[in-house]
Amino acid sequence: MKNDQAKKYGMVIDLDKCTGCGACMVACMAENNIPFKEDESNKLDSITWMRVYQLTNGKPYPETDICYIPRPCMHCEGDHGHSPCVSVCPATATDYSQKTGIVSQIYTRCFGCRYCMAACPYHARYFNWWDPVWPNGMEKFLNPSVSPRMRGVVEKCSFCFHRHQLAMNKAFVEGRRELEENEYQTSCAQACPSGAIAFGDLNNPKHTVNQLAQPDNAHGGQPKNPEVFRLLEKLGTNPKVYYVSSREWVRRAGDNYLKNENPGKAH
């Protein structure tokens, strides 16, 4: 039994389906024991591994249009695994897995220099400014598969990696080395009521994410599907979260363009 084929787990989010309900955010917080404050209104120091942004096209009524963009960690591959955050961490507390394509965070090794946060253009990394405090009794309902984080370290979306570990354990017990698509799904993908989030192996043609994004691995994973885009494609971060939208202004909002620049065939 061999498991030679490297996986590249990724996500495709259909922005035309997303209603901005925030179920993905709630599911993520519950699944990953994400601490919260009594007052969560200041988003600059609260932790939201999955954060939903609201965009508008800036046009007056009746042409006003709104789009919600859920933003998890992009699990950037960069150039051969040198994602923006992994290459800068001085203590190797964050790592890029060549087996899964997942960018991990080792909480017990992080000493809180926050260089990775400075490096991440997506603001997907969060610092624990406080020790986690749970409402009375809530400790009993924390997820035992996910370790809570202490004050002074950085954390971020892990693509629910503990679910991957549990699924792999189960598969091993059953004598398998490969997972079915539905055996490893993130909590946000499962919670999305409109089915906007697809998750799976971008390298596997049978998986929905591959079929939707049609990533071109010869060109840094750029999507072949003209309605699919990645955030800040030009920076070369090579993210593994793709977005689908039929709306041109939404696709254009995914990256920065010069005033007279043609966004290109995909946009």
Chain contacts with other proteins (rule: CB under 8 A): 42, 44-45, 53, 55, 69, 78, 82, 84, 87-93, 109-115, 117-123, 125-131, 150-154, 231-232, 234-237, 253-259, 261
- The CA dihedral of 215, 219, 220, 226, to the nearest 10 degrees, is -40
Query: 100 or 237: whose CB is closer to other proteins?
Result: 237
Task: Please state, in angstroms and rounded to a whole number, the distance separating the CA atoms of residues 13 and 8.
Answer: 16
Query: How would you class 108 by CB atoms within 10 Å of its CB: exposed for 0-12, middle for 13-18, buried for 19 or more?
Result: exposed
Task: Please state, in angstroms and rounded to a whole number, the distance separating the CA atoms of residues 111 and 127.
Answer: 11
Task: Please state, in angstroms and rounded to a whole number, the distance separating the CA atoms of residues 221 and 162.
Answer: 25
- Contact, 57 vs 65, CB < 8 A? yes
Shortest Cβ 12–other proteins spacing (Å): 19
The b-or-e profile of 10-45 (16+ CB within 10 A means b, else e) is bbbbbbeebebeebbbebbbebbbbbeeeeeeeeee
Question: What's the residue count for the chain?
Answer: 267
Shortest Cβ 117–other proteins spacing (Å): 4
Shortest Cβ 186–other proteins spacing (Å): 22
Shortest Cβ 259–other proteins spacing (Å): 7
Shortest Cβ 183–other proteins spacing (Å): 33
Query: 92 or 165: whose CB is closer to other proteins?
Result: 92
Task: Please state, in angstroms and rounded to a whole number, the distance separating the CA atoms of residues 70 and 18.
Answer: 8
